[in-house]
Amino acid sequence: MVDKLRAEFPFFSFNPKIVYLDSGATALKPQRVVDALNFYNTHESVNIHRGVYQLSQRATNTVEDVRKKAAAFVSSSPEHVAVFTRGTTEGLNLAAHILTSTKSNLADFFASYKISKTPAILLSESEHHANIVPWQIFAQERGYKLLYIPVDSEGKFNAPKGFLQSLAEKYSVRIVALSLQSNVTGILHDLSPYRTFADEHGAVFVVDAAQAVVHAPHEIKKLNPDFISYSAHKLFGPTGIGVLVAHKKVLDACDVYQGGGGMINLVEHEKSTYLDAPGKYEAGTQAIGEIYAFGKALEFAEEYKELIHTQDINLREYGDEKFHNAQIRFFGDGARMRSPIYSFEIPGAHAHDTGTLLDEQNVAIRAGHHCCQLLMQALKVSATARASLAVYNTRDDVDKLIDAIGYVRKIFRK
C-alpha cells in the first residue's frame, strides 16, 4: 500500500537517494497535484467570478467546489465556509484582525464581547510564531492582554490547578487560539478543556491546524472550533494557498481586512459596500491554479485517510523504539498522543551541525527554533534537530536516520 502511494510522488524518482524527513515544514506533492496546477495554466488559465463566458464559469465552479471540500475536510458544520488565504499564517492574521476590530459585531455571537473587563487572548507557550505574532500586533494596538498556557520541559501543556478560573476572574477572555498539534514535538494536545472554557465564557475558539490537518483531521472536527486555519502545502498541496474556515454569519458580521476588486458590492467616492462572506475577504485575483491543485490534495488525503492514520502509528511506534534503543532523547516522549515528529538533541553537537552532517548522509531534516522561540525556552534549548515523518516514509527511513545520527555521534564522540 505504501509502495502504491509512494509511486504517486515524483520526488522519489528525481531524488532516489534522499531520505526526506522534513514534512512538518512542507509535504511532498503527488503527481495529480502537480498536474492540476499545470492543467489550469495550460487548459483554462482564465479568471473566475467576473467572466460571462463558459470557461470562466467552469473555473469558478472548480474553485467553489474546492472551497466546499476545504471546509468539509476540517468541519462537519454546514454553516462553516472557507475563505481562501495564502496559508495558515495569513488565515491567523485575518482572524486576529477581525476578532479584535471594534468594527466587527461579535457580541451577537460571543458573550465575552459584552463584558467590560480587560479583554484578553489566551495562547500557549507551545505556539508557532504564526499563532503568536499576529495576536501581539493587534493586542498592542487594541488594548488586549495576552495570556499563555505554560508548557513543561517536554512541551506538554502544564497549566496549574485553577489556572483558567483565575484568568476568568480577572479578564474577559474573548479569544482562545491554540495549535492542536506542535510542529516541534508532534504532540497532539488535548484542547477539550479549553474548548469547554471558551464555550462557558462566550469566547471564540480558534485552532491553528497547520500540522493537525494532515495527522488528525477527525480531532479538529471533534473540537468544532469557531475558526480553523490551515495551509494546503502541509497536506500534499501547493504552497501559497490555504483557508480560514469559520461560521458564515460570524464572518458576515466582521470587519473587512483588505480592500480591492472582487470584494465589493458598490463603490462610491467616499465609501463602498462589501460582499457577504467569504467574498468580502478575498480582494483581488486568487491563486486559481493553486486552488485547483489544493482540490486534488484534498482528494488524495481523503483517499489515503486510513493509510495516513495507520502509518502515523506504525512510524511512531517503530521510531520511538529505535530512538529509545539508541538512547537518543527526543522531546515530547510519552505524550498522550503524538505523531512521528522527532525533535532531538545530540549532546555537544549544535542542531545545525547535526542537520549538516545528516545531510551528508542524504537524510534531510530541519534544525533551529522551528518558529517556536517560546517553546524553545520551555524546553531549555536554543534549537533542536527535527525529523518529521509522513505517510510516504518507511521503517527503512527510520533506520537510515538512526544510522546517520550514529555517524554524528561518532564525530562528536557522544
Q: How far apart are CA 317 and CA 274, in angstroms?
A: 51
- Least gap, CB of 206 to ligand PMP (angstroms): 12
**Active-site annotation holds for 254:** no
Count of residues interacting with ligand PMP (CB under 6 A)? 13
Piece of 4-12, 31-39, 83-91, 263-271 that binds ligand PMP (CB under 6 A): 83-91
Among 29, 80, 128, 195, the residue binding ligand PMP under the rule CB under 6 A is: 128
* Catalytic site residue from 283, 371, 381, 402: 371
- Which helix (H) or strand (E) segment holds residue 120: the answer is strand 119-124
Which residue, 188 or 277, is less far from ligand PMP as judged by CB?
188
Task: Check binding of 87 to ligand PMP (CB under 6 A).
Answer: yes
Residue 25 main-chain phi, psi, to 5 deg: -80, -50
Q: How far apart are CA 169 and CA 116, in angstroms?
A: 12
* The Cα angle at residue 194 between residues 120 and 379, in degrees rounded to 5: 85
Task: Check binding of 179 to ligand PMP (CB under 6 A).
Answer: yes
Q: How far apart are CA 152 and CA 166, in angstroms?
A: 20
Among 23, 88, 112, 339, the residue binding ligand PMP under the rule CB under 6 A is: 88
Which residue, 98 or 235, is less far from ligand PMP as judged by CB?
235
C-alpha cell at 132: 503568536
Q: How far apart are CA 259 and CA 236, in angstroms?
A: 31
Among 208, 226, 282, 397, the residue binding ligand PMP under the rule CB under 6 A is: 208
Residue whose C-alpha is closest to residue 361's, from 315, 405, 414, 410? 405
- Least gap, CB of 179 to ligand PMP (angstroms): 5
Task: Check binding of 125 to ligand PMP (CB under 6 A).
Answer: no
Task: Look at strands 119-124 and 145-149 and give their pairing.
Answer: parallel
Subset of 210-229 contacting ligand PMP (CB under 6 A): 210-211
Task: Check binding of 243 to ligand PMP (CB under 6 A).
Answer: no
Q: How far apart are CA 72 and CA 356, in angstroms?
A: 40
Which residue, 88 or 104, is less far from ligand PMP as judged by CB?
88
Task: Check binding of 89 to ligand PMP (CB under 6 A).
Answer: yes
Q: How far apart are CA 261 and CA 253, in angstroms?
A: 20
Residue appearing with cell numbers 495516513 = 308
- Least gap, CB of 290 to ligand PMP (angstroms): 12
- Least gap, CB of 170 to ligand PMP (angstroms): 28
Task: Check binding of 183 to ligand PMP (CB under 6 A).
Answer: yes
Which residue, 172 or 393, is less far from ligand PMP as judged by CB?
393
Q: How far apart are CA 379 and CA 386, in angstroms?
A: 14
Which residue, 233 or 322, is less far from ligand PMP as judged by CB?
233
Residue 146 three-state SS: strand
Residue appearing with cell numbers 484534498 = 298
Contacts with ligand PMP by CB under 6 A lie at 87-89, 128, 130-131, 179, 183, 208, 210-211, 231, 233
Indicate which residues carry an active-site annotation: 371
